[in-house]
Amino acid sequence: MSGFRELIRESGVDNLNRLVENEDTKYLVFTRLTSQWALCVSDGIEVWRIEWDEEEMEAHRDLAGISSASVMLNRIKNAFNAGDLTVTPTSSMITLIAGSGVSGVTFNLYEAKAAERKAELQSVLFRLAEDVQTLDSKLKGVNQTIEKLKAQAGSGAAGHVGNPLMDLGPKKGVNPAKIKPRKTGMSVVNPTSKKRKAPSGVVFD
């Protein structure tokens, strides 16, 4: 039995839930794991369910012509994640199809007894409440991280704008090491030669 429970957990089908609409009626489709694996559909008042142990699951897998239990459970998980679930009510049961086409898995769920209905609704109610609480906590943590990053970015930008110390370095494109002081008396046009004196004319004694 522990191997069966481990298979359910590893396949990720132990705590699934999905809202499905059929015309004007909404259904909550969910799974639950105790000593057995339960697949349930509820309209919020009534509950339809099946509950399997390992032998019953293997019998359904064989009847559906699926190669292994893990393949069947993987199809169920993918159908939940994609919202690819079809609920069709009849007078005595509900037919649930997980997936579509040749990969779809069909289940016939029957109305739960009063005690079973109460237990299933109570279980999924508290589980959904816990999920909301967890998601709310994660959302607050993400928002706090975003606000911290915004504050850090804002303080970094504010520290740069208008700070004269940021402009004290040499300008780009100018290399101070290459600028040599001009010696006194040297030509501006040709720094390697001395500057010629302007002619002053003939000097008479």
DSSP H helices, the chain, are 2-11, 54-64, 69-82, 114-160
Q: Is there a domain that residue 48 lies in? A: yes
Q: What is the pTM of this model?
A: 0.68
Which has the higher per-residue pLDDT, 193 or 14?
Answer: 14
Of the candidates 166, 187, 168, the one whose C-alpha atom is nearest the C-alpha of residue 176 is 168
Q: Is there a domain that residue 156 lies in? A: no
Alpha carbons 46 and 190: distance in angstroms, whole number: 102
Which has the higher per-residue pLDDT, 90 or 1?
Answer: 90
The number of C-alpha atoms within 13 Å of 149 and in the hemisphere containing its C-beta is: 6
Alpha carbons 48 and 24: distance in angstroms, whole number: 18
Residue 131, pLDDT score:
84
Residue 197, pLDDT score:
59
Which has the higher per-residue pLDDT, 204 or 93?
Answer: 93
Q: Is there a domain that residue 202 lies in? A: no
Coil, strand or helix: which one is 101?
A: helix
Tokens representing residue 82 in the block:
């994609």
Q: Is there a domain that residue 174 lies in? A: no
Neighbour-count burial of 123, counting CB atoms closer than 10 A to its CB (0-12 exposed, 13-18 middle, 19+ buried): middle
Domain with 93 in it:
2-121
Q: Is there a domain that residue 90 lies in? A: yes
Q: In percent, how much of the chain has pLDDT > 70?
A: 75
| 54-64 helix and 69-82 helix, angle to the nearest 10 degrees | 80
> Which of 49-58, 155-164, 179-188 reaches the highest mean pLDDT?
49-58
For 90-143, write each residue's pLDDT tens digit. 988 999 999 998 889 999 999 999 999 999 999 999 998 988 888 888 998 899
Residue 153, pLDDT score:
86
Q: Which of 6-20, 73-87, 120-134 has the lowest mean pLDDT?
A: 120-134
Which has the higher per-residue pLDDT, 158 or 126?
Answer: 126
Count the domains in the chain: 1
Which helix or strand (DSSP H or E) is residue 31 part of? strand 25-33
Q: Is there a domain that residue 136 lies in? A: no
Residue 119, pLDDT score:
92
Alpha carbons 172 and 159: distance in angstroms, whole number: 22
CA dihedral 133→138→143→148, nearest 10 degrees, is 130
CATH of the domain at 33: 2.170.210.10
Q: Is there a domain that residue 66 lies in? A: yes
Residue 23, pLDDT score:
83
Q: In percent, how much of the chain has pLDDT > 90?
A: 58
Q: Is there a domain that residue 159 lies in? A: no
Residue 185, pLDDT score:
60
Taking residue 154's Cβ as centre, other Cβ atoms within 10 Å add up to: 10
